[in-house]
Chain A
Amino acid sequence: MRIRILVDGKSFGVKQGDNLLHACLSNGLDLPYFCWHPLLGSVGSCRQCAVKSYDSEDDQEGRMVMACMESATQGCRISIDDPEAVRFRAQVIEWLMVNHPHDCAVCDEGGECHLQDMTVMTGHDHRRYRFTKSTHRNQDLGPFINHEMNRCITCYRCVRFYRDYAGGEDLNAFGAHDRMYFGRQSDGTLESPFSGNLVEVCPTGVFTDKTFKAHYTRKWDLQTSPSVCVHCSLGCNTLLGERYGEVRRVLNRYNADVNGYLLCDRGRFGYDFVNSEQRIREPHGRQAGAAAGEDLDQEAVLERCASLLKTDNSLVGIGSPRASLEANFALRELVGADHFYSGISAQEYELEGAVLKALREGPVRTPSLREVESADAVLLLGEDPTDSAPMLALALRQSVRQQPLREAMKAGIPQWHDSAVRGMIQDRKGPLFVATPVATALDDIATEALRAAPDDVARLGLAVAHVIDPQAPAVGGLAAAAQALAKRIAAALLSAERPLVVSGTACGSTVVIQAAAAVATALSVARAQTEVDPPLLFLTLSECNSLGLALLNPKPLAQLLKSGGKGVGGTAVVLENDLFRRAPAEQVDALLEGRSLVVLDHVPHATTERAHLVLPAATFAESSGTLVNNEGRAQQFHAALAPAAAIRPSWSWLRGAHAAARPLEAPPVSLEDLRNACAAATPELAEVWTPAATAEQTQTLRYAEEKVPRASFRASGRTAMHAHLNVHEPSPPADADSALAFTMEGFSSPDGQLIPSYWAPGWNSVQALNKFQSEIGGEQRGGDPGVRLIEPRAAGPSCYPDAAPAAYAARDGEWLVLALPRIFGGEELSNGSPALQERTPEARLVLHAEDGRALGLEDGDEVEVSAPGCSLRLPVTLLDDAVPGVAMLPLGIPGKGYLALPLRASIRRAPA
């Protein structure tokens, strides 16, 4: 409910029950604060947000209150400008500054520091403290986070985020009185995969980005652009910062529905592959049969393209789940829909099929991450999202708070009153049931965690579905314990207000995905006649544009591989893809045999090695495009830098090649034309780029003459950047593909998805975001970016499989080897980032401890895994919390090539 409050005599509309600080900020008023954070709520420790509160019109005295600790009530009166409040707030800053070093000039936070901003805002500028400051020893917190404790102002935000919000255990507040310390119990890498958020949560320079430090640039000298993370399928929104042709850092870009205020460490620190020494920078050609090739100039490339791509029945294109919709579409246009293949493995294709079926045909909606947070009972089947879709794990950590939170609210405690809520609900958690083959990082908050092979996970899921809706297939021969567990899960889901089922392709099992869809379907059937909210089904996918690629209806790669290549001739065009990761080497070899190969990509790999023409493709950081996340949300990313001379976005290469080969058929087009063609050709994508649906298009129109600058108006040294080449200031690179410009001139306060960085007068830190939101924590002005493409069909029990799979039976001497996703080391692109490499643990096979003992193994011993087409040697980790007869193999081990997981293999101790 909206109410009105009076601030310094002026009336403002606010949400009833919001705290007053939140209410003031939502109305654009400047009120300084530290300990409050929109995600973390209020604890009232910093005392910075003091205002005067008056009981009535007659109350002239008023009393000092902390705005963050008071609920807004109809007609309540406060004053920000009251002289006593103004003076007290300046005094609070002076206290915070007592021990704060005067090191802004050498501090990474300088120029984008909330403490600096608040100091200026309160007007404190004269130091009266004349005694010695206290100092601290810093800790080495690993490759991501730099620690500089002297700058701490003891706002407690770091531990409140790291521990209370993200469930991390290795950071805490130590000491007391004015000897407080925030750090680890002893030096060492911060373990939480969300540690990078400390960089933005800390209002000063204690926790800063160590990867940024390695090539530091002041915020105002970065050229920034709105982007989308390419390191998993969730599509978190990011801000990319560039200088001198290098990506310097990634910050959160707020999207209320997707990632809110946060990012995971893979997304934040995985960017460095863009800057890799190994980048393909020149087109490279090799004549058939020749061992070595040569770099080609622009003209020669197009000539070569023209000759390779002449209309030819045997021209095939292989798309990519990590390339943009536009690039994939351009490839499809080039080769024709009949010759356009998916570029993902056979297993993956099947898994994706199961997901797509659930999304397109099922009655249940895929929620956004924000909706996941508000789910109040969760069943997680098959995978550990911490490794496959990290921000989902963080959202699930919030979901288990929902039921206890309701208790607190019933007792009259507002949700923002963080310490009171935690005091009341203590460690109580709402239902989260986990059924996976191996221990997960969410087990600590799980109501119950079951370890089972995928088929048994699916059986449990179907049993739950059957309990909820008898129309769902019955599961024969289920053990009594599993049956009882299914009943408990069903009861928890049925009694919840917003039940949620989670699974995805990372579990490697279509039956598990089907079971998840079945549970969600059963819930929607059971709740169809009631007023309650419909249930939710969240399915992860593998890559940043898995769904976008699928929506272009590529044919399965397996079909192409089956037909082989020998004697077929013609050309294969491979878009941003290494086929040797997608299929067995012999099959790929067979495919390539006798074919000409054109590959577009950023860094060399086994497939580019084989190419006759390699085209240097721009990364996401150097191009604009569209990705569709697992939720079916199409989101655009924008280049942060113009690609180096010979590098072009894939779609542009493809279109250029198309025009060169068949000029009559494909005139050169702009990105916008390409998008229009794509929308026209693909009904499901019709809404993605319509003027009404995307802020960008509207803005392109509105600011047709004035683009949005990527550089800040304080950018220094622009004229000097190229002075070693030419003392004249070069004209900035043009960008025809977006409404952004590579300059500091233009329309600098855009809305929605064109916001290239958060800045407002007086607000230089990331917390300037306040000024871009319609209300604090709500959507951005101009709407949040992205268009949802898939909504559920009307109910229909089409999502039940015909029957349950048979129970998993371990076979003597044989293991079921499953894929084990890993947050660090498990994703192709981010693996190129040195900081992530440092965090990537040695690849080890996970075995149940009993199996290990039977083989005479100890932790760390080497084993041999052998199956037809597979022979691996690697150390083991023995776990009690796993399934006997099941082994887990980390994905994406460099140099290990493709493995058709899951597979049955024998395992033995490796000979010395």
Chain B
Amino acid sequence: MERPLTQNIDRGREPLGLKAYEAAGGYQAVRKVLTEMTPEQVTKAVKDSGLRGRGGAGFPTGLKWSFVPMGDDAPHPKYLVCNADEMEPGTFKDRVLLEGDPHLMVESMIVAGYAMGADVGYIFLRWAYRLADRRLRAAIAEATAAGYLGDNILGSGYSLTLHVHVSAGRYICGEETALLNSLEGRRATPRAKPPFPQVSGLWGKPTIVQNVETLCNVPHVINRGADWFRGLSRTEEGGTKLYGVSGRVKNPGCWELPMGTPIREIVEEHAGGMQDGLKLRGLLPGGASTDFLVEEHFDTPMDYTSIQAAGSRMGTGTMILLDDGNCPVGMALNMQNFFARESCGWCTPCRDGLPWIEKLLQAIENGDGHADDLDLLDAHARDLGPGNTFCALAPGAMEPLHSGLKFFRQDFERHIAGKGCPWS
């Protein structure tokens, strides 16, 4: 089984330096695109591979690139931004790549930058990733010294400067347009789309924002081709995927597996199943802003289409498991507390609706719930849906709430009727 993303990674040791990385076939994709391919060909190769965004929304990557104005009269500078904010609760996959193979990250930025004609790249890194920060900066320095970055890369005429920008907190910074505002030194409230960043992004210039894992696939697609990439998968959707499991399993972790590996296989074989004495009640397949799946869904292959068909979203592909020793109301409260706290404060439903939800859940958890509180929660789960709010934060927050109310309704009712939490 091939593990292109993590082939160089061994969490027990330092990541590969430039020389070792090159020896392992690194920077071949850079050489290849700069000498053999036009930017359009690179974009086409990515399009053909069927690669979809790994940051949560699953948008086809090549298609996104094709919206960037190209050619001599395109506005410049153009920017490529790597979204390494990774603050979705339960998500820790990008960290594996950033810490484990920083040169792959750098190489990916150069190849993608070349495809869109970027002049400057930023890696927007979440503050907590101190180790990744150090390692990325070291890799950038090495790559710059070796001529892979800077002016006239490898004599090709293409130039790219790459910066690491470390955030100052706030989950909303991961939303791509809020991220752009943050990079510009502003309050990280999202921007309306359209216009899309590809047209008017960072400082009003064409910009692509792409997730770490998405980008790290690109050099491999270039080196090995679209067919190879599609062949890695167990389903229609190409490539491998970094799947993660957290919660009370025997062996929580993150593994690169073929796209479409079924949930049960990931939980049982890789995460070692539940800790002794605990039963799995449900799980969020791709981070805190995805819908709960329960027993009946556990044989679903983890890919975008199948998970959607099961009623949830693949999201980031990192699952959070609820066991029977933890209270579903408490878990819902914990997540809504997070979302309410991390709302940017821009739009009304999210700013004022989420704290209300949080207070209702707290009341229910405390035993102060009212009979009609569940109706209010249902109404919120509906009214904070897509289109009603300015960005996807609040709708994301409603996914686990809505499905939680559906699958664990008796637990909520038990709290209200029994005036308290049966688990505490």
Contacts and interface: CB of A to CB of B under 8 A. Distances in A.
- Chains A and B in contact, CB within 8 Å: yes
A423 B204 contact: yes
A27 interface: no
Contact of B344 (A69, A98, A99, A176): A176
Contacts of B370: 130
A178 B340 contact: yes
Given A64-B388, A95-B356, A423-B191, A178 B345 contact: yes
Given A91-B379, A180-B351, A413 B356 contact: no
B192 interface: yes
Given A50-B388, A99-B352, A411-B200, A128 B376 contact: yes
B195 A413 contact: yes
A139 interface: no
Nearest to A180: B345
Given A95-B349, A426-B203, A177 B343 contact: yes
B347 A45 contact: yes
A425 B75 CA distance: 13
Q: Interface residue tally of chain B, by bracket? A: 35 or more
Interface string A118-142: 0000000000111100000000000
Interface string A71-99: 00000000000000000100110011011
A48 B349 CA distance: 10
A173 B340 CA distance: 18
B346 to A, nearest CB: 5
A92 B204 contact: no
B392 to A, nearest CB: 14
Given A47-B388, A47-B390, A424-B195, A92 B348 contact: yes
A660 B346 CA distance: 69
A417 interface: yes
Contacts of B354: 177-178
Contacts of A412: 194-195, 199
Nearest to A417: B192
A423 B347 CA distance: 18
A45 B348 contact: yes
Contacts of A423: 191, 195, 200, 204
A178 B337 CA distance: 12
B154 to A, nearest CB: 33
B323 to A, nearest CB: 30
A301 to B, nearest CB: 63
Nearest to A42: B192
Given A178-B340, A178-B352, A178-B355, A46 B347 contact: yes
Contacts, number: 107
A420 interface: yes
B348 A48 contact: yes
Contact of B348 (A43, A47, A417, A424): A47
B349 A92 contact: yes
Interface in A167-185: 173, 175-180
B345 A177 contact: yes
A270 interface: no
A424 B75 CA distance: 12
Interface in B352-382: 352-356, 359, 363, 370, 376, 379
Nearest to A46: B348
B40 interface: no
B359 A131 contact: yes
A48 B347 CA distance: 10
Nearest to A98: B352
A310 B352 CA distance: 76
Contacts of B379: 91
Contacts of A176: 170, 187, 343-345
Interface residues of A, number: 43
A175 B189 CA distance: 12
B383 interface: yes
Nearest to A131: B359
Contacts of B170: 176
Given A45-B390, A47-B347, A426-B203, A411 B195 contact: yes
Nearest to A156: B346
A95 B232 CA distance: 48
Given A95-B352, A176-B345, A178-B345, A420 B387 contact: no
A509 interface: no
A419 interface: yes
A91 B349 CA distance: 9
A69 B388 CA distance: 12
A48 B352 CA distance: 13
A65 B390 CA distance: 10
Contact of B347 (A44, A64, A88, A130): A44
A886 B341 CA distance: 57
Contacts of A154: 345, 348, 351
Given A95-B356, A177-B342, A420 B348 contact: no
Contacts of B343: 176-178
Given A99-B352, A128-B376, A65 B359 contact: no
B41 to A, nearest CB: 27
Contacts of B390: 44-45, 47
Nearest to B200: A424
B389 interface: yes
A213 interface: no
A131 to B, nearest CB: 5
Contacts of B195: 411-413, 420, 423-424
Contact of B346 (A45, A65, A96, A98): A45
A65 B387 contact: yes
A419 B355 contact: no
Interface string A397-413: 00000000000100111
B192 A69 contact: yes
A63 interface: yes
A92 B340 CA distance: 16
Nearest to B375: A128
A406 to B, nearest CB: 14
B204 A96 contact: no
Q: Kindly name the residue among A43, A419, A423 whose own CB sees the greatest number of chain B CB atoms within 10 A.
A: A423
A419 B192 contact: yes
Contact of A129 (B194, B340, B344, B356): B356
Contacts of B363: 131
A177 B192 contact: no
A92 B195 CA distance: 26
A420 B191 contact: yes
A871 to B, nearest CB: 52
A50 B348 CA distance: 12
Contacts of A131: 356, 359, 363
| Residue among A44, A63, A176, A424 with the highest chain B CB neighbour number at 10 A | A176
B200 A177 contact: no
Contacts of B353: 95
Interface string A625-642: 000000000000000000
Nearest to A128: B376
Interface in A799-851: none
Contacts of A48: 348
A130 B368 CA distance: 11
Contacts of A96: 348, 352
A419 B200 contact: no
Interface of A: 43-48, 50, 63-65, 69, 88, 91-92, 95-96, 98-99, 128-131, 153-154, 156, 173, 175-180, 408, 411-413, 417, 419-420, 423-426
Given A47-B348, A91-B379, A178-B340, 5 more contacts: A47-B389, A92-B349, A95-B352, A129-B356, A417-B192
The 4 closest A-B pairs by CB, nearest first: A95-B352, A424-B204, A177-B343, A424-B200
11 contacts: A65-B387, A99-B352, A128-B376, A130-B370, A154-B351, A177-B343, A413-B194, A413-B200, A417-B192, A420-B194, A423-B204
